[in-house]
Amino acid sequence: MMKRNERSSLVLVLVFVLIVSVTFSLMSVEARKHHHKKSNSHHKHRKDHKGGSDSSGPALGPAPAPLPPYGSYPPQTSMTVFNVLSFGAKGDGVADDSKALLEAWKAACKVSAATLEIPSDFQFMINPITLQGPCMPHLVLQIDGTLLAPPKVGSWPKSSLFQWLNFKWIHDFTIQGTGTVDGQGSDWWTASQIYSIQKKSKHIPDIKPTALRFYASNNVTVRDIKIINSPQCHLKFDSSNGVQVNNIQISSPENSPNTDGIHLQNTQNVEIQHSNIGCVGDDCVSIQTGCSNVHVHHINCGPGHGISLGGLGKDKSVACVSDIVVEKISIQNTLAGVRIKTWQQNQGGIGSVKNVSFSNIQVSDVKVPIIIDQYYCDKHLCKNQTGAVAISGVKYDQIIGTYSVQPIHLACSNDIPCTDVDLIDIQLKPSSGNRYFQKALCWNSFGKSQAPLVPSSIDYCLRSDVSGSVLRSIARSHEHVC
């Protein structure tokens, strides 16, 4: 049997040997990769380390904090973990940590299955940056702390107003963690503030940054994080393929105009699931031209504008959207429920929206739960159109709940009607206490309906007498581009 003293000194020796070996292996890794200070460590920060004084990794003081069991941080793992603090980030929410993040990104990008760590309990102020690939596969951006955008409109570089964090040309990449991406948009939402910078420079575009944007990227996953207070759109995927969004929270407060939740453009093979999106200013999910094979499910949306396809075909642009499934959605206190909108100015009608299914949608106090609007227009007086994006194959199944203005509004183009529109099991009642609602509106929409249908006027909504000339004009407009 060892005496107590012997045992504790043995423990101390073991701890010392452990620290020395871990530190030594880290130092050699460091020395190889970067010419960094030896006090730096790539270790994940432990939650109980608070403040900025411990940015050098595990404590080496005389009374060491309890170390994790030996097996829990094997040195070979730490070689692939790149903590932004090790690259000079302050994490105080004030100092500009953009450069540190960029350096950490560059280092992590070169290593297969690397993790770039944004540690918890720190706030990193980051100016608009582009985090660019291609990188080695399986790169993870682990956001456990907070990323903060510049708080003042005037402090944004004028050349970087399109987005804040721009991920470009990356494949096989994941953002995850328990942390927050905070766009600090309140300054942008104040119209007077915009006016005051416009006075300073006439060339400020009428544009507000997106918080997180992916461009030309494949196989990207965003999960678990919170994205809040974006100046405009919170999460955008542009010209990408293979997107997974899972279990994220998006929110901005009631006074935030034009703040979209998730925006998809020219992006295919997308799944958005199990997320909460509450953006007052604009759409929870916005699906724009060039999107196909998009599956949106188990989303809680509202307040906001609901889930939208479009506005498509702005300024005579080509619009092609197909194979969209939106199901098992709960929508509260929004302007629209599920909506397809095409711009009225799209004279000539190029493109199509086809094969869209909205099913199992619960609505609560939604102004207009079901909308097709081919007269979408941001001016007071838009010219009458002579063509439109062709809309066909849209199924509404189990759209159930309450509305505050109108149950259904299908305003299809005069020239090209909507075809194969199915209304199945639609049960919409006015919100309690609301007596000023409008009747269902249906214009130039063809298809079938199937009971139960509440209000019963929905039964007369759709026409079934498609004439030959109408079908031919639809076919012509489909031929164009998609």
Active-site residue set: 282, 305
* CB of residue 86 to ligand NAG, shortest distance in Å: 28
* CB of residue 287 to ligand NAG, shortest distance in Å: 12
Q: Is the dihedral of CA 16, 22, 25, 29 positive or negative?
A: negative
Nearer to ligand NAG, 174 or 300 (CB): 174
* DSSP strands (E only) in 57-202: 81-83, 92-96, 115-118, 123-125, 129-132, 139-143, 146-148, 163-168, 171-176, 180-182
Q: Could you tell me where the DSSP H helices lie in 83-242?
A: 98-109, 186-189, 191-200
Residue pointed to by tokens 């188990």 = 298
Contact letters for ligand NAG, residues 227-266 (x by CB under 6 A): ---------------x------------------------
* CB of residue 306 to ligand NAG, shortest distance in Å: 20
Residue 360 makes contact with ligand NAG by CB under 6 A: no
Residue 347 makes contact with ligand NAG by CB under 6 A: no
Q: Which of 40, 41, 218, 334 binds ligand NAG (CB under 6 A)?
A: 218
What secondary structure letter does DSSP report for 383?
A: P
Nearer to ligand NAG, 355 or 457 (CB): 355
CA distance 151 to 91: 15
Residue 414 makes contact with ligand NAG by CB under 6 A: yes
Nearer to ligand NAG, 172 or 283 (CB): 172
Residue 380 makes contact with ligand NAG by CB under 6 A: no
Nearer to ligand NAG, 158 or 439 (CB): 439
**Would you list the DSSP string of 247-313?**
S-EEEEEEEEET--SEEEES-EEEEEEEEEEEEEES-SEEE-TTEEEEEEEEEEE-SBS-EEEEEES
Contact letters for ligand NAG, residues 277-296 (x by CB under 6 A): ----------------x---
* CB of residue 176 to ligand NAG, shortest distance in Å: 17
Residue 219 makes contact with ligand NAG by CB under 6 A: yes
φ/ψ of 428, rounded to 5, equals: -125, 125
Q: Which of 82, 375, 396, 403 binds ligand NAG (CB under 6 A)?
A: 375
* CB of residue 273 to ligand NAG, shortest distance in Å: 15
- Tabulate helix, strand, coil % of the chain (nearest 5): 20, 45, 40
Q: Which of 19, 29, 129, 325 binds ligand NAG (CB under 6 A)?
A: 325
Closest CA relative to residue 376, chosen from 409, 345, 336, 399: 345
CA distances, 419 to each of 18, 324, 326, 368, 410 (Å): 71, 16, 19, 21, 12
Nearer to ligand NAG, 106 or 297 (CB): 297
Residue type, 25: S
Q: Which of 97, 121, 144, 172 binds ligand NAG (CB under 6 A)?
A: 172
Nearer to ligand NAG, 40 or 374 (CB): 374
Instruction: Characterise 196 by phi-psi region: left (phi > 0), alpha (psi -120 to 50), beta (else).
Output: alpha
* CB of residue 36 to ligand NAG, shortest distance in Å: 31
Q: Which residues bind ligand NAG (CB under 6 A)?
A: 171-172, 218-219, 242, 293, 323, 325, 355, 375, 384, 414
